[in-house]
A and B are shown apart, each in its own frame.
Chain A
Amino acid sequence: MQTLPPLLAKPVDIAPLWLVERVARTIFAGVLRAHPDLFERLGDYRRSRYCFSPSDLPLHFTVVPERGTLSVSRRGAAPPAADARVEGPLVVLLALLEGRCDADALFFSRDLSVTGDMEAMLALRNALDDSAIDLPRELGALAGPFSPLVAGTARYIRTRALEGRDATWN
């Protein structure tokens, strides 16, 4: 399973939590703004608390879509409280965010583990799958005059990270 290259993982690892959180919140808010259709398909589960735990980073990302809140915590003895939790390599979690991989296939191959409220998890999976989120595009939109550079770099990283994976959607 593809994991985050050390060149990318190390800075996230040593960066102050507030900085990681600030960057993640900005991206999260941008995605929610650009994809209001997410809420419609999520239904009541927009109020659920979701925790994403990249297995190759010492961090948890916890979000509540309706409130637009995101918090980051370091991996410790107890993970943050959440209604539903998903854990897997960061590349896989980001690919799922964009619908580039099939969640069931990743579950069958044990690359992904899910716990908690499975209705909430299914609703989120299906809402994301239908939302055509394109992270390089979303990042580019946040970068002002550097938009082409940021989007292009992000696309390059994504292509390299997903090499060899089942990511053939049109």
Chain B
Amino acid sequence: MELICPAGTPAAFREAVEAGADAVYCGFRDETNARNFPGLNFSREELRQSIGLARAKGVETFVALNTFMRAGDEALWYSAADDAVAIGADALILADFGLMAYVAEKYPAQRLHVSVQASASNADAIRFLVEVFGAKRVVLPRVLTVQDIARLTRQIDCEVEVFAFGGLCVMAEGRCSLSSYATGKSPNMNGVCSPASHVRYRQDGEALVSELGAYTINRFGPGEASGYPTLCKGRFEIGEVEGYAFEDPVSLDVIDQIDALRAAGVSALKIEGRQRGKAYVAEVVSSLRKALAAAPAERAALVARLRTMSEGQRTTAGAYDKRWR
């Protein structure tokens, strides 16, 4: 299986390549991708240089254009697709059907991947995207069990990529409006979930309080591992109970299911984290590269230390291993 690795800066890109990525995915420095954070992402020239570096090492580059076009401003997304193709992206990762249609019609030879943001999670949806837009690969939302994935891959005629490690999103990717509700901005339309402009942290005695817009998201006690200030990871009072209403601050890790995923027909494993630093990228990519080559019994030890770098310093197999079902 291929290892698909994140890069938010050229430095992180180089780390991913050196650490053993089969492909690196990245985005332009604007709202055409779902990690539109200050100081992050690539200029056209930086992407050109990075693709050159990757190609020299036999590594592919995927460009994420995975936000939804805003009516009247389609030119921003179209020109990003034009530039990514011209610069030599090996694949475009798209979520918007309109942008898929544009790329499929204008660049029929360009490899098109369906972003997780498209939320294509059943055979009918995926077959439609393959037949109409010529999609070659689908990145599955993190809502399916390994058994679901195995059933799905048998019914579709395209490659399947799944998230294997990193931040865990609420299970309505591409459709989540929690950030919009609190801030007016969303990953789907603006490329930012819980935008930094609306985030505040403050110390309240020994506690760390995180706030998003007008909402208190969480209060972490002394020494308690913290998480991102997103509503989906917020701790709320519901009736008499205080707890995580949507999901805990925890990261995804399905390294112990690599063999099952391979048997299920998965072509590529994706690491989340374009917003993370180059030290994180180097550590996670090299650890997962070693784990892929290791015997099953050795894998847990190889990735154990990654837990300390994860949100909430905890990991979960998430929906891949949904035993309560």
Contacts and interface: CB of A to CB of B under 8 A. Distances in A.
Interface stretch (A4-12, A70-78, A116-124, A136-144): A116-124
Contacts of A156: none
Nearest to B199: A118
Task: Give the dominant DSSP class at A's interface.
Answer: helix
Interface residues of A, number: 37
Interface string B274-311: 01111110110010000000000000000001001111
Contacts of A45: 38-39
A115 interface: yes
B158 to A, nearest CB: 33
Contacts of A90: none
B308 A105 contact: yes
Interface stretch (A15-23, A56-64, A96-104, A147-155): A96-104
Contacts of B12: 129-130
Interface string B187-219: 000000001110111110000100000000000
B37 interface: yes
A159 interface: no
Contacts of A108: 225-227, 309-313
B279 A118 contact: no
Contacts of B10: 130
A146 interface: no
B225 A110 contact: yes
Nearest to B223: A110
A68 interface: no
Interface residues of B, number: 44
Nearest to B305: A166
B282 A169 contact: yes
Contacts of B309: 102, 104-105, 108, 166
Contacts of A121: 196
B115 interface: no
Q: Which of B18, B280, B310 has the most CB of A within 10 A?
A: B280
A100 B226 contact: no
Contacts of A99: 11, 277-279
12 contacts: A104-B280, A108-B309, A108-B311, A109-B225, A110-B226, A115-B200, A118-B196, A122-B38, A129-B12, A130-B10, A167-B279, A170-B18
Interface of B: 8-12, 14-15, 18-19, 37-40, 195-197, 199-203, 208, 220, 223-227, 275-280, 282-283, 286, 305, 308-313
